[in-house]
Amino acid sequence: MNARSSTAHSVVEPSLTSRRVASVLVIVYAFVTLIPLFWIFATGFKTPPDSISYPPKVIFEPSLEGYCNLFTTRTRQTSEYIAQLGPPEGICDEVTRRREMVIAGTSNYAPRFINSVIIAFGSTFLSVFLGVMAAYGFSRFKVPLKDDLLFFILSTRMMPPIAVAIPIYLMYRELGLSDTKLGMILLYTAVNVSLAVWLLKGFIDEIPREYEEAAMIDGYTRLQAFRKVVLPQATTGIAATAIFCLIFAWNEYAFAVLLTSGDAQTAPPFIPTIIGEGGMDWPAVGAGTTLFLIPIFIFTILLRKHLLRGITFGAVRK
Amino acid sequence: MAEIRVNRLQKNFGEFVAVKESSFTVKNGEFFCLLGPSGCGKTTTLRMIAGLELPTSGEIILGDDDVTFKRASERDIAFVFQLFALYPHMNVRANIGFPLKCDGLSRPEIRKRVEETAQILRITDLLDKPVSGLSGGDRQRVALGRAIVRKPMAFLMDEPLGALDSEFRHVMCNELRALHNRLKATTVYVTHDQLEAMSMADTIAVMNQGVIEQLGSPREIYDRPVSMFVADFIGSPSMNFLNLRTGLKAGSTSIFIDQTSVTIPAVREETAEADLVLGVRPENIFFSDSDGLPGDVFGVEYLGTTQIVTVTTGRGTVKARISSDTKAEIGDRVRLKFRPDKLSIFEKSSGRVLKSALHEGVTHG
């Protein structure tokens, strides 16, 4: 029965008016938050002159110049030199020649992007793995000084991580972890693991012990019971935790600037360094940012199903 | 199937003694009930038999095997939880087959055994459904299925009907007992519901504060309670207690309450003058025209075939269960007589029953 056909007496169902107001608010809010994203996306398809024109152009002729510039390095040549070259190979060649330049090689964007993927997913995996183990331990076993340990773990979040940037910088230099992927994975894991432990402990506390007990009586060891019974039911929590960890590691800028410059540099510190002819190459920045958003976008959408599904709902009567 | 022997089992949680030196034997194929109020240690006892809790001292012998300190997975037992504990991420078939998967059975073999089990429980049509949509009773059946599919040495059940509504509980009670009659499986069943225990068990152990107060058949526990606790806990309405102060000689067969002589089963032990309690079940009380304990009718509960009549006497309030045909109205003056062979006399200070002809051969916990 929908609201229209039900009587006005329903206490729990919102009235048509309030639902309309809610819809309008949601749409307005979505619009406001999506404007910057839209602007980044649009800038990626503008030509450099369009991207800095004033007043800003909302309607423009799309161009792939931003994407071409993002992945290539170019050198300026005389028009005579360009004219004597053969026909352009591919669209990027054509776009570049129009600016009296030729493609000199590939840019560092692709390797930086891959660094980002390795570091962010690596540290997310490690944080969630350690987090789920620790959370299970804290949730199920008598751990001496449990509360103190949990508080200690939480206390690592009580200051902004960047507050310890200098000691970490010095430490990493000594240990040879500066500008290494392993170093960045460990660093992001260290920051995220406390969040993971606390979040996951909440989720695992919610899973009744009877499930493991039942599995153990059914002949499984504790570890098997953990893997076959607890983990599948903690999926929702693991997914939520993984998203938080990934977003932090993926977007992290300050440590990345400080600790990486070459081999292990991630995309966030790289993107602002894209400079084109006559200042910032905004279309290339827009293109780089758009591509940078895609993995986390996909990851979130994939896990959203898990976030929304109350997987344990109804299996246990409370 | 096997016998379970529990020997001087003790469990302490810090200072608190949850189970105190309990010993009992569950015979092969017996339906054994641990009955008691919440917090009496019955669930702890069961969890120790299952291996989910390790005893502080004592031993548990399953068949010929000392399993006291073995892991739960190493004991060949099945456990049915109050909240069913069906794995929510698996469907009914996977839930029932889960214990078999661990034993390394082949897929066709698992399939066959699961289907056999489903047939016994009449849940074949549910096999491919997710467990989240099932009703309480069906969930209970699936949980039972998961227990019986493995053909274990013993079944342990922790208030398996506690989460069902009362109407359905009755149906499942009958089903459980029918299942037990069919499988002849050694079963230990924990409940706080005396009706469940009385209707299903071969043997009941009544527990109180970590101690088994009495061990016996439902009839024995009902008719010949060894303590005021057992007498009070079993039966609804519970046993009437009439306070009196007197001494008893061995062999005496009557006592006086307010100048009224009451015939009792022959006393087997001598007592100096002390505070005693006469225990009488409501259904063992009759109205008499001529003699008996006088009292006034205070309330009448009509129950169809019988009625519960509350009578205030000089010795306190007494509830009598009498035929509905007998006329009783509030304010009536009545005289009460008791059925002589079913009376118990307790020592008020300890709650212990005095030995009498009625109580010969009763097992104390």
Per-residue CA distances from B236 to A138, B240, B306, B316 (Å): 45, 11, 13, 18
- What is the least distance, in Å, from the CA of A178 to any CA of chain B? 44
Residue A106 has pLDDT above 60, yes or no: yes
Least confident of A70-79, A109-118, A173-182: A70-79
- Is B78 within 8 Å of A217 when comparing Cβ atoms? yes
Q: Does B118 touch chain A (CB under 8 A)?
A: no
A148 contact B CB<8A: no
Q: How far, in Å, CA of B257 to CA of B294, rounded?
A: 10
Per the CB < 8 Å rule, is A233 touching B88? yes
Pairing type for strands A101-106 and A72-76 reads: antiparallel
Half-sphere exposure for B45 (CA within 13 Å, toward CB): 36
Contact B150, B75 (CB under 8 A): no
Domain coordinates in residue numbering, chain B? 4-223, 238-359
Whether the predicted pLDDT of B3 surpasses 60: yes
Give pLDDT, residue A277.
Answer: 63
Does residue A235 form part of some domain? yes
Question: Alpha-carbon distance A253 to A262, whole Å?
Answer: 15
Question: Distance from A206 to chain B by nearest Cα, in Å?
Answer: 13
Q: Nearest CA of chain A to the CA of B133: how many Å?
A: 7
| Residue/partner pairs of B55-59 with CB below 8 Å, 24 or more apart | B55/B9, B55/B10, B55/B11, B55/B19, B56/B10, B56/B11, B56/B12, B57/B8, B57/B9, B57/B10, B58/B6, B58/B7, B58/B8, B58/B9, B58/B10, B58/B21, B58/B22, B58/B23, B59/B6, B59/B7, B59/B8, B59/B9
Q: What is the pLDDT of residues B136-149, one digit of tens each?
A: 888 888 999 999 89
Q: Which residue of A has its CA nearest to B74?
A: A219
B54 touches chain A (CB under 8 A): no
B131·A215 Cβ contact <8 A: no
In a domain, A308, yes or no: no
State the average pLDDT over residues B285-298: 87
The pLDDT-based confidence of B365 (bands split at 50, 70, 90) is: low
State both tokens at A160.
Answer: 């902004």
Nearest to A311 among B78, B85, B89 (CB): B89
Q: A311 vs B88: CB contact, 8 Å cut-off? A: yes
Across chain A, mean pLDDT equals 87
> For residue B170, what pLDDT band results from cuts at 50, 70 and 90?
confident
The number of beta carbons lying within 10 Å of the beta carbon of residue B96 is 31
Cut 0.80: pTM above it = no
* A311 and B CB contact within 8 Å: yes
Average pLDDT over every residue of A125-154: 93
Q: Which residue of B has its CA nearest to A224?
A: B102
* Beta bridge pairs of residue B59: B7
Confidence of residue A311 (pLDDT cuts 50, 70, 90): very low
Residues of A in contact with B92 (CB under 8 A): none
Ramachandran bin of B297, using left for φ above 0, alpha for ψ from -120 to 50, beta for the remaining angles: beta
Average pLDDT value for residue range A173-193 = 93
Tell me the two tokens of residue B183: 């499988």
pLDDT tier for residue A314 given thresholds of 50, 70 and 90 = very low
State the pLDDT at residue A318: 36
Position B207 scores a pLDDT of 94
Q: Identify the pLDDT of residue B136.
A: 83
Confidence of residue A88 (pLDDT cuts 50, 70, 90): confident
Which residue type occupies A172?
Answer: Y
Asked if B72 lies within 8 A of A214 by C-beta distance, the reply is no
What pLDDT, on the 0 to 100 scale, is given for residue B363?
64
Phi, psi of B223 (to 5 degrees): -80, -30
Cis peptide upstream of residue B237 (ω within 30 degrees of 0) = yes
| A142 and B CB contact within 8 Å | no
CA distance A278 to A281: 8
Task: Indicate if the pLDDT at residue A97 is higher than 90.
Answer: no
- Spatial separation of the C-alpha atoms in residues A314 and B78, rounded to whole Å: 23
- Please name the helix (run of DSSP H) or strand (run of DSSP E) that holds residue A75, with its range, or none: strand A72-76
pLDDT band for A1, please (50, 70, 90 cuts). Answer: very low
From chain A, the residues in CB contact with B148 under 8 A are none
The CATH number of the domain covering residues in B238-359: 2.40.50.140
* pLDDT band at residue A276 under the 50/70/90 scheme: low
Is residue A55 reached through a cis peptide bond, with omega within 30 degrees of 0 on the bond before it? yes
The answer to whether A312 contacts B88, with C-beta atoms less than 8 Å apart, is yes
Number of Cβ within a 10 Å radius of residue A110: 13
The residue of chain A nearest to residue B97, with distances taken between CA atoms, is A218
Q: Quick check: B86 and B40 in contact, CB under 8 A?
A: no
Summarize the confidence of residues A282-298 as an average pLDDT: 92
Residue A126, min C-alpha distance to chain B (Å): 25
pLDDT value of residue B94: 93
Q: For residue A115, is it within any domain?
A: yes
Quote the domain boundaries for residue A265. 110-273
Residue A143 sits in a domain of what CATH number?
Answer: 1.10.3720.10
What architecture is the B4-223 domain classified under in CATH? 3-Layer(aba) Sandwich (3.40)
Between B132 and B92, the higher pLDDT residue? B92
**Cβ–Cβ below 8 Å for B79 and A211:** no
Residue B298 one-letter amino acid: F
Checking if the pLDDT of A8 tops 70, the result is: no
| Lowest mean per-residue pLDDT among A47-51, A173-177, A301-305, B35-39 | A301-305
Residue A3 has a pLDDT of: 44
Q: Are strands B187-191 and B154-158 parallel, antiparallel or unpaired?
A: parallel
pLDDT at B235 over 80: yes
The whole-angstrom separation of Cα B350 and Cα B228 is 9
When CB atoms are compared, the residue of B89, B131, B163 closest to A232 is B89
**Cα separations (Å) of A20 from A7, A9, A25, A26?**
18, 19, 9, 10
Instruction: Quote the pLDDT of residue A315.
Output: 40
* Tens digits of residue pLDDT in B18-43: 999 999 999 999 999 999 999 899 99
Task: Give the best residue of B46, B48, B79, B103 to mutate against chain A (max A CB count within 10 A).
Answer: B79
Q: Is the pLDDT of residue A312 over 50?
A: no
Neighbour count for residue B339 (Cβ, 10 Å)? 13
How close A223 comes to chain B (CA, Å)? 12
Amino acid letter at A232? P
Q: Which chain A residue's Cα is nearest to B86?
A: A315
Mean pLDDT value of segment A135-162:
90
CB atoms within 10 A of CB B353: 24
Task: Show the tokens assigned to B131.
Answer: 């467990």
Q: Which pLDDT does position A161 carry in this prediction? A: 80
- What is the total count of domains within chain A? 1
Beta pairing, strands B306-313 & B316-323? antiparallel
Report the half-sphere exposure of A15 (CA within 13 A, side-chain side).
4
Q: Collect all residues of chain B within an 8 Å Cβ-Cβ radius of residue A233.
A: 87-89
Report angle CA A261, A263, A269 to the nearest 5 degrees. 40
B73 touches A: beta carbon within 8 Å: yes
Q: How far is B98 from chain A (nearest CA, A)?
A: 7
